[in-house]
Amino acid sequence: MINNKTNYRVPVLTIAGSDSSGGAGIQADLKTFSALKTFGMSVITAITAQNTRGVFAVEEISKEIIKKQIEVIFEDIHPKALKIGMVSSPDIIKQIADTLSKYEVNNLVIDPVMISKSGYSLLRTEAKENLIKYLIPMAYIITPNTMEAEEITGIHIENLEDMKEAAKKLLELGPKYVLVKGGHLDGDAVDLLMGDGVCELFESKRLDRKNTHGTGCTLSSAIVTQLAHGYDVKEAVGNSKNYITKAIENSFDIGHGIGPVHHFY
């Protein structure tokens, strides 16, 4: 368990999609927020019908109610840190960027969610441009895996050198830091943090586990909690990497497909 500097409940927010099976999306975010002693709030951008076997349907929420959810939260309980996960359409992305720009936004973590492990597209092809143009420049840190980093930069990633090259290109888009997650490459799981004079590797042994649904959502949410608790970016990423590693170690079978990670251990 992470040793938090503060143990009172700081407000944090997730702007993301709902996963009806509870393993990823908003549900994973809120579980992580609670496990890491923060007060979680949520703005839902889309509803997915999914289970451990896959995603079966997606319905986007209207951009008007997304806007309103953000406004009423920021005008009442100002989050100390927040994340943006699944935002599937160009209009929703623009709406979120426009709405957030009215407030002082601190510690924005963007997880550029694109495709689920089961292969379902969670970001419409035409939405990528707006993600790059409007949202990524607002981020304190973005957390793409290698496939997402490839999709955004056009750089094919096979090794650490490629990850570094992609990270540099991602930084040119405007976020302060980039965490490229190397978990999909061969060998141990090595993540690269880069930005503002920092270039650091975070390594963990490859865990041979089937149940990894929601790992990306959980890691980015953990980073939100650690930033909200006042840790600097290196500590926030290091603590969160330890948390996700233990959550994967404790992942479990539920349903018939890829089960979830365990948030409370």
Q: Which residues belong to the active site?
A: 181, 212, 214-217
Number of residues located near ligand PLP, criterion CB under 6 A = 18
* 10-19 and 81-84 beta bridge pairing: parallel
Q: Based on the shown chain and the rule CB under 6 A, indicate whether residue 221 belongs to the binding site for ligand PLP.
A: no
Q: Based on the shown chain and the rule CB under 6 A, indicate whether residue 214 belongs to the binding site for ligand PLP.
A: yes
**Stretch 128-167: interaction string toward ligand PLP, x if CB under 6 A:** ----------------------------------------
Nearer to ligand PLP, 4 or 240 (CB): 240
Nearer to ligand PLP, 104 or 256 (CB): 256
d(C-alpha 144, C-alpha 230), whole Å: 23
d(C-alpha 249, C-alpha 32), whole Å: 15
d(C-alpha 222, C-alpha 239), whole Å: 8
d(C-alpha 139, C-alpha 157), whole Å: 23
Please give the sequence-ordered ranges of beta strands (E in DSSP) within the chain, or none if there are none.
Answer: 10-19, 38-51, 54-60, 81-84, 108-110, 141-142, 177-181, 189-195, 198-204
Q: How many CB atoms lie within 10 A of CB 219?
A: 28
Q: Based on the shown chain and the rule CB under 6 A, indicate whether residue 85 belongs to the binding site for ligand PLP.
A: yes
Region from 5-13, 134-142, 152-160, 213-221 binding ligand PLP, contact rule CB under 6 A: 213-221
Q: Based on the shown chain and the rule CB under 6 A, indicate whether residue 215 belongs to the binding site for ligand PLP.
A: yes
* Contact positions vs ligand PLP (CB under 6 A): 16-17, 19, 24-25, 48, 50, 85-86, 113, 116-117, 122, 213-217
